[in-house]
Amino acid sequence: MRELAFRLRRGDDLRQNIEEKCKEAGINTAVVLSGVGCVYQAKIRLADASKYLEKTEDFEIVSLTGTVSRGKAHIHISLADEKGNCIGGHLEKGCLINTTCELVLGILEEYETKREFDPKSGYDEIVFTRIKEGKDND
């Protein structure tokens, strides 16, 4: 596994920049290893997959985890406000960096990914295929 590390600055869109950096680097499959920083605008999709939460206030990023497959991110984020109260959900475009965000992505060079419809979940879900062995790892 290789790594890609970069820093975002005030006003940068977190999800958009992650997707763009992966596309620019020709990365097919990556995982978020670390994301440390803060945002002044949050936009997340909530657990029911139909409602969004948008807030303009200062938050610390307390957790950032997920995958990037063929330039599309599936990332979950947890944010803490000034009182330590947390919100979280699916990272959407519109989550804007306050002062900084330090990111480290792990590049899974031995895997190809694609999305296929899963009748059990009702969504297009990621399918990992190990390139060297040619086995699916659901």
Whole-angstrom distance between the N-terminal and C-terminal Cα of the chain? 19
Residue 106 located in a structural domain = yes
Residue 55 located in a structural domain = yes
Residue 138 has pLDDT above 90, yes or no: no
Region 22-43 average pLDDT: 96
Q: Which helix (H) or strand (E) holds 120?
A: none
Residue 17 located in a structural domain = yes
What pLDDT does 48 receive?
82
Residue 33 located in a structural domain = yes
Residue 89 located in a structural domain = yes
Residue 38 located in a structural domain = yes
pTM (predicted TM-score): 0.90
The rounded percent of the chain whose pLDDT value lies above 90 is 87
Cα separation, 11 vs 8, in Å, equals: 9
Domain that holds residue 17: 2-110
What pLDDT does 136 receive?
55
CATH number at residue 103: 3.30.1330.80
Query: Which pLDDT band holds residue 46 (cuts at 50, 70, 90)?
Result: very high
What pLDDT does 38 receive?
98
CA 88 to chain centroid: 12
Query: Which pLDDT band holds residue 131 (cuts at 50, 70, 90)?
Result: confident
Residue 132 located in a structural domain = no
List the structure tokens of 137: 């790892």
Residue 115 located in a structural domain = no
Cα separation, 133 vs 114, in Å, equals: 17
Which amino acid, one-letter code, is at 33?
A: L
What pLDDT does 7 receive?
98
Query: Which pLDDT band holds residue 50 (cuts at 50, 70, 90)?
Result: confident
Give how many domains the chain has, as a whole number.
Answer: 1
96-116: pLDDT as tens digits: 999 999 999 999 999 999 999
